[in-house]
Structure 1
Amino acid sequence: MSMINDRRHFLKWVAAGIGAAALPFASMAYAGDAPRRAIFLHFPDGMRPEHWHAQGTGTNFILPRMTAPLERVRQHCVFLSGVDMLGSGSSHEGGVLKFLTGADGRGSDKAVSLDYYLAQAFKTQTIKPHLNLNIVPVWDSAGVTFDSNGLRVAPEPNPLVAFESLFGSNANNNFIAQRRLNAMSNSLNELNALRSKLGAVEKAKLDTHTESLRELEQKLNANVGACAAWNFNPTGFKVTRTGFWSNPEYRDQHQMGVISSLQMDVAVHALACDLTRVVTLTWGHSVNEAIIVGSGSGQTCHQASHGGGEDFIKIKAWYTEQLAKLIEQLASVPEGNGTLLDNTVIFVGSDLSNGGWHNHTDMPFIIAGGKNGGISGGRSLHFTATPHNKVLVSIAQFMGVNINSFGNQDSNPGVLPGLVG
C-alpha cells in the first residue's frame, strides 16, 4: 500500500507546484554499476583480546581461536584493533547506544544509528529501506538500531515473517513483486492522465518524476523474472507456538543455529534482489542469556564472558562461524564483474570489548567485503585509541553518502586511515 500512498502524495505535490527536489522517488540509474550495500552485525558480550584480535599486522598475521573460523575467508576480511568507542557509558547498554551512533552512550543522547541513517538515504530506491533482524532475542528490547529521534527500532525475530514481508507467502511465484508492478502500472496510468491537465512547468516536473518511476518499474520487472526466492527454509522450520510467553520457536535457544541460518538467508535474498540496501543482524540481546547448543558450551554467552575461559572461546568461535557462512553466501552470488560480497561492506562489532571488564577500548571490530569500493581484505590493521566514529564515516562513504563525521565522539573527523585503497 505504500506505493499507492506515494503516488497519491505525488499527485498532490505536482498540483501544488512543488519542485522536483521534493519528489518521493529518486532516479534508480547507477550507470551500469551494481548498488552498494551495508550489513551491520552485532555479536553480544564482547570478547577476550588475546583470543580475538589478529596477531600481527598487514597481511602477515595469525587468527587466534575466537576468530579462527574466519581463516577460510580471511581474504575478504580486515581485522581491526586499537579502535575505541568513546564516551561515558562503559556497559552493555552504553555499548549498544554507542555501537552504530558514535554518540556518548547515554540514553539522553537520542542519537540516530548509522544503519537507520543510511536506510533513509536510500529509502526511495528500494522496496524496504532497512531489513532489521534478530536471532533468538531473550527480551523484546533487543536491537542496536535507533531512529532519527533516538528511539530504538525493534528488529524482527521471526525469519518466516521477515521473508514473507519481502517475497510474499508464495515467494517462488513472486507474488509481492507482481503486486508492486501492478501498483506501479496504475501509478503511471494516472500520471499520464494527469499530464494533459497541467501547464508547461508542471508537465516538466511530472516528466522528470515519471522517468524515475519507469526506471523503478523496469527494475521491479527484472526482479520478477530473475529473483525467485531460491531454496529458502530447506529444513522446513515452522512456527506453531504463538505469543511471547508461550516461547514460539523463533525464541527457542535450542533453535539458535537454525534461526541464525534463516535470518542470514533472508538478508542475502533481500540484498541479491535489491529489495534493500541496508541490513542489521543482531544475535540475541546485549546481555545474552541463551545457551548456544551448537557452540559446545553449556554456559550462556553472558555467563561465559565473565569467566573468559574455554566456554567463552567456544561461544565466540560459534559467532564468527556465522560470519564466515554469511561471507561465503554473499560471495556465491554473481553480480556484474564480481559478486554480491564485492559490493557489500559488512561491519562486525559488539557492545563491549573485554566481556569481563565491561570496557569499550580496543573493540572487537571486523570489516568484510567491499572489494568494489576499494576495501582490500586479508589484512590486519592496528590503531591507537582511534575513535570508532571513523569506521562509521568510512562505511557511509562506501555507500556513497558523502559525510565526514558521524556521532559526537571524534574531535578530528574523517575516515579510518588505510581501510580503503
Structure 2
Amino acid sequence: MTVSAKRRAFLKGLGAAGLGAAGLGGLTLPFARTVMADATPVRRAIFVFIPDGMEYQHWHAQGTGTNFTLPRMTQPLERVREHCVFLSGVNMFGPGSTHEGGIAKLLTGAAGRVFQDKKVSLDYYLGEWFRNQSVRPHLNLGIVPIYRDKPITYDLNGVPVMPEMNPLAAFTSLFGEEANNNFVEQRRLSALDASLQELNALRAQLGTAEKIKLDMHLESLREMERKLASTTAGSCPAWNFNPTGFQVTRTEIWRNPEYLDTNQLGVISDLHMDVAVHALACNLTRVATLVWNNSVNDVVIKDAGSYKTCHQASHEGGEDFIKIKAWYTEKLAQLIERLRSVPEGNGTLLDNTVIFLGSDLANGSWHNHDNMPFILAGGAAGGLVGGRSLQYNNAAHNKILVSIAQFMGVNINQFGTEDSTPGPLPGLLA
C-alpha cells in the first residue's frame, strides 16, 4: 500500500470513529470545538414562536419595574417571573399587518410583504456566525404544524428554511442511533489511542512537511479528547430522553405521521423542548428555534381545556383564547425550568441562554403589530435582569433583535430594515 493509500485509510478510520479529518492539506476541523470544559460558558439563544397573538388586557404585565402582576394569559410564568422580562409598547413596523406579514417580520426585522423584502432571520444569522463552533449551526424545530408553508426562519438569501418536525429524528441527527445515558463515556473513547500503532507506522513514511501537518491536525484532535475527558458526567448527560416511549412508525407526510398528531401535542412539545435543551447543554448548537404549531393555527389543544382552534378563539376572544394562550406560556415556563435545572459554570444553562418569545400578531382579532406580545427570559450571565416589566413608547422590535445579538457577543448595532434609530432596546441588558 502506498503512503497516500495508507494515509487515506487512516483518515477513513478516524472518520468512522467520529473524529473524521478533512485531509492533511487543510487544518480546519470538520467537527465542532466543544466548550463543555471551558471556564467561561458560551452564550446561547432560543427563539420561541406561538401563533395568533393575544388580548392586551389578558397578556401584558400590569405595572412596571419589579412591581407588577401577571394577567391570566401569562399567569403560568408567575413561578419563574424572576427569570422573565415582560415587554409592552414594542411594535413591528413596516407593511404587512397580517399573520403572514408577522412571521416574515418577527426574526428578520424587515417588511412583512409576503415573498418580498425578506431578509435573513436572526436565528439563522447567529447560527452562521457560530458555524465553526458547533456541530449544528442552527437547530430549527417545528412542533405539530398544520400548515407547512409558514416558516419564521430565512437564510442569507431570504429563502424560507423548513423546520424539522419529528423530534425523534432531530434527536438522532444530533446524538446518533445509540444515544443513551452513557453518552459522554462513549465519546471519551480515544480513537487515536486505538490507532496509535498504525499512526506511528504512517508517520514514519511521511516527509517533513506532511509530518508537521499531521501533528498539528492530531493535536487539535487531542485537545478535543482532553476537553471531553475532563468533563464530569453531569456536564453533558444524555438525560432520559423520550420517557413516554413516543414512537414514529409512519414517516411519510402523506400518511399523517405520529409527530403531527394534535392529540399528542403535549408529549411532542416536551420532546422538542428536550432536544433543544440537550443540544444546547452539550454545545452541539448555539441557536435553537421552537415554532409551536404555526401562524393561523387550526390545532385544537384539548389539554388547554378548549375545543376551539387557536385561530378561531383569537377572533372570538374570551375564555377559550385565555386558556389556549395560558397553555403556551405554561410550555415557556417548563422550558425555563428545564434550562434552569442544568448546572453550568457558576450558574445554570438558563443563565447563559436568552429566550425570546414572540408571535405573528399583537391583538389576535385586530391583525395588528402594535404592542406585540414579547417576552425575554434567562440570560442573567449576559446582563438580562429578570423579574421586570418594561414599558416602551412605540419602540421598534428590531432593537430586541440587536440586543439578542449583542448578548451573544455579536457586535452589531442594527438588524433588519424597519428601525430608523439603530441600537439595542434601552434598559433591556445591564
- TM-score calculated relative to the size of structure 1: 0.88
Deviation, structure 1 residue 197: 4.1
2:318 is the counterpart of 1:346: no
TM alignment of 1:218-297, pairs within 5 A:
218-221=226-229, 226=234, 227-297=236-306
Distance in 1 between residues matched to 2:155 and 2:343, nearest whole Å? 33
The alpha-carbon deviation at position 178 of structure 1 amounts to 3.7
The match for 1:120 is 128
Question: Any unmatched runs of 5+ in structure 1?
Answer: 15-21
C-alpha displacement of 1:83: 0.7
Aligned pair in 2 of structure 1 residues 6, 220: CA closer, same or farther (>3 Å)?
Answer: closer
State the distance in 2 between where 1:371 and 1:195 align.
54
Q: 1:347 to 1:181 in 2, by over 3 A?
A: farther
1:300 paired to 2:309 = yes
* 1:123-144 Cα deviation digits (max 9, x unpaired): 2111111111111111222431
Match of 2:399 in 1: 390
User: Contact between 1:392 and 1:406, CA under 8 Å: does it hold in 2?
Assistant: yes
Q: Match of 1:143?
A: 151
2:342 maps to what in 1?
333
What is the CA–CA distance in structure 1 between the aligned matches of 2:417 and 2:207, rounded to whole Å? 50
1:57 aligns with 2:64: yes
8 Å contact from structure 1 (residues 289, 301) kept in 2: yes
| Map of 2:173 onto structure 1 | 165
The equivalent residue for 2:92 is: 85
Which of residues 77, 100, 103 is equivalent to 1:96? 103
Aligned pair count reads: 410
Cross-structure match for 1:321: 330
On the 8 A contact 1:75/1:378 being kept in 2, the answer is yes
Equivalent residue number for residue 183 of structure 2 = 174
Structure 1 residues 224 and 242, CA gap change in structure 2 (3 angstroms) = farther
CA distance, structure 2, for counterparts of residue 7 and residue 236 of structure 1: 33
Cα deviation for residue 182 of structure 1 reads 4.4
1:359 aligned residue: 368
CA 1:60/1:175 → structure 2, altered by over 3 Å: closer, same or farther? closer
Larger C-alpha radius of gyration, 1 or 2?
Answer: 2
Give the secondary-structure state (helix, strand or coil) at the position aligned to 1:80.
strand
How far did 1:275 drift? 1.3
- State how far apart, in whole Å, the 2-side matches of 1:103 and 1:163 are: 32
CA distance in 2 between counterparts of 1:26 and 1:266 reads 18
Q: Residue 34 and residue 246 in structure 1: after superposition, are their counterparts in 2 closer, same or farther (change >3 A)?
A: same
Matched letter for residue 250 of structure 1 = Y
CA distance in 2 between counterparts of 1:217 and 1:241 reads 39
Contact 2:166 2:259 in 1 (8 A): yes
Structure 2 SS opposite 1:170: coil
Aligned-partner residue type, residue 283 of structure 2? D
Cα gap change, 1:418 to 1:212, in 2 (>3 Å): farther
Report matched runs for 1:374-385 at 5 Å.
374-385=383-394
- 1:58-116 CA-to-partner distances (Å, cap 9, x unmatched) read 00001011000000000000000111111111111111111111111222223111111
The change in CA–CA distance for 1:214 and 1:406 in structure 2 (over 3 A counts) is: farther
Report deviation, 1:272: 1.4
AA aligned opposite 1:114? L
Which residue of 128, 140, 155 maps to 2:163? 155
CA distance in 1, matches of 2:249, 2:29: 43
Structure 2 residue runs of 5 or longer lacking an equivalent are 1-11
What is the CA distance between 1:408 and its match in structure 2? 1.0
Tell me which residue corresponds to 2:4: none
> In structure 2, what residue type is equivalent to 1:123?
R
Match of 2:8 in 1: none
Give the CA deviation at 1:245. 2.6
- Farther off after superposition, 176-185 or 368-377: 176-185
C-alpha RMSD over aligned residues: 3.1
Preserved CA contact (<8 Å) 1:177 1:223: no
**Which residue is 1:132 aligned to?**
140
Q: 1:181 to 1:244 in 2, by over 3 A?
A: farther
Structure 1 Cα separation of the partners of residues 249 and 407 of structure 2: 42
The one-letter code sitting in structure 2 at the alignment partner of 1:100 is L
Matched ranges for 1:395-410 at <5 A:
395-410=404-419
| Cα distance in 1 for residues equivalent to 2:225 and 2:162 | 30
Work out whether residues 112 and 118 of structure 2, in 8 Å CA contact, stay in contact via their aligned partners in 1. no
Asked if residue 45 in structure 1 is aligned to residue 49 in structure 2, the reply is: no
Q: Secondary structure at the match of 2:88?
A: strand
Q: What is the match of residue 81 of structure 2?
A: 74
SS of the equivalent of 2:139 reads strand
- Asked whether the 8 Å contact 2:89–2:372 carries over to 1, the reply is yes
1:81–1:8 Cα change, 3 Å: same
Structure-1 separation of matches of 2:263 and 2:336: 24
Q: CA deviation at 1:157?
A: 0.9
How far does residue 169 in structure 1 lie from its aligned partner after superposition? 1.9
Change (3 A) 1:8 1:361: same
